[in-house]
Amino acid sequence: MAMKKSDIQRSAAPSNRKKKLFFTQKNAAAIHESIFSSTLALYMALFWLAVLIPGSVFAIGNFHPSPEELKLLPKYCTPRAYHWGNNRKDPRTRKWYKIFGDQYTRMHHYCQAMLNLRKAMLEFNPGSRKGLCAQAKNDLEYMEKGIPSDFVLLPELYVMFSQTYQCLGNPGSAFAYAEKAVRLRPDYVKGAITYADLAVKLGQREAARRVLETALKKKPRSHRLLRRMTCLKGHGQEDCPPGYNKESAE
């Protein structure tokens, strides 16, 4: 007995649906596998890029200090480590927004640079030390680009730049930033001693003397300034920074 066309179509329909379902599941599995592979490859690429390029852009803004590390930093850094740090109305941040203004939203870069410089000073491995300083340089550059000329911590920022370039083996740039710091604020003790120490190392003892004398007019009791001035005159050689006494200068 011959089958009707409609019967043939009905009997073939389940088979066609199974084929369609099979191909749909197969395509979905292939798509998921492709997405997983691409995602994995991307994560691996980012991981190796961060490892092989110390101080890369991945370091910028990555401010996640431990409670112990926060204790080493100024108090204005603490809110920048938490999500509530961007809330201007929070009692814990109100004071800092009043001091720094809108620039406080960028201060985690400054704090991260400060933390990396502290870590670099304690790091014995030269490569790791330079990596930390390169990360600090990235954050300082980001900070410098967006701040006004009257930013309250600009002299400190320049000194940190100077320390960073010293760490990276670039005394010329280190000296240039130290000079910016003392021009901006001649009585800033840390700026003056940073400049003077570099000037002595570079053989510019007279420039070091002028900066120390200017700073001492405003801070006559500063032990660090007085010590360097005494050493520059050839006294107290046992307690002098490198290059200050006459013997090391000759």
Q: Which amino acid is at 228?
A: R
The predicted pLDDT at position 169 comes to: 96
Beta carbons of 77 and 107 less than 8 angstroms apart: yes
Task: Tell me: do 138 and 204 sit in the same domain.
Answer: no
How much is the pTM? 0.73
Task: Tell me: do 146 and 207 sit in the same domain.
Answer: no
Q: Is residue 138 part of a domain?
A: yes
Q: Is residue 230 part of a domain?
A: yes
The predicted pLDDT at position 175 comes to: 98
- How many domains is the chain partitioned into structurally? 2
The predicted pLDDT at position 34 comes to: 58
Distance CA 134, CA 59 (A): 9
The predicted pLDDT at position 21 comes to: 46
Task: Tell me: do 172 and 193 sit in the same domain.
Answer: yes
Tokens 């979905």, residue located: 28
Buried-exposed string 132-159: b where 16+ CB fall within 10 A, e elsewhere: bbbbbbbbbebbeeebeeebebbbbbbb
Q: Is residue 20 part of a domain?
A: no
Q: Is residue 188 part of a domain?
A: yes
The predicted pLDDT at position 37 comes to: 58
Tokens 């492709």, residue located: 34
Beta carbons of 166 and 152 less than 8 angstroms apart: no
Domain range spanning residue 238? 162-250
The predicted pLDDT at position 236 comes to: 65
Is 68 strand, coil or helix?
helix
Decide which of 152, 170, 201 is a domain's last residue: 152
Task: Tell me: do 184 and 226 sit in the same domain.
Answer: yes
Decide which of 121, 152, 183 is a domain's last residue: 152
Checking phi first, is residue 19 left (phi over 0); if not, alpha (psi -120 to 50) or beta? Answer: alpha
Tens digit of pLDDT at every position of the chain (250 positions) = 554 555 545 555 555 555 454 445 555 555 556 555 555 554 444 444 433 333 333 333 578 899 999 999 999 999 999 989 889 999 999 999 999 999 999 999 999 999 999 999 999 999 999 999 999 999 999 999 989 999 999 999 999 999 999 999 999 999 999 999 999 999 999 999 999 999 999 999 999 999 999 999 999 999 999 999 999 988 766 778 888 876 544 4
Domain CATH for 241? 1.25.40.10
Distance CA 196, CA 144 (A): 24
Question: Residue 102 has what DSSP assignment?
Answer: G
Q: Is residue 10 part of a domain?
A: no
Task: Tell me: do 80 and 148 sit in the same domain.
Answer: yes
Taking the CA atoms of 119, 121, 127 and 131 in sequence, report the sign of the dihedral they define.
Answer: positive
Task: Tell me: do 69 and 125 sit in the same domain.
Answer: yes
Task: Tell me: do 77 and 114 sit in the same domain.
Answer: yes
Q: Is residue 37 part of a domain?
A: no
Task: Tell me: do 173 and 137 sit in the same domain.
Answer: no
Is 64 strand, coil or helix?
coil
Beta carbons of 187 and 215 less than 8 angstroms apart: yes
Q: Is residue 40 part of a domain?
A: no
Q: Which amino acid is at 182?
A: V
Decide which of 152, 187, 211 is a domain's last residue: 152
Task: Tell me: do 115 and 172 sit in the same domain.
Answer: no
The predicted pLDDT at position 51 comes to: 36
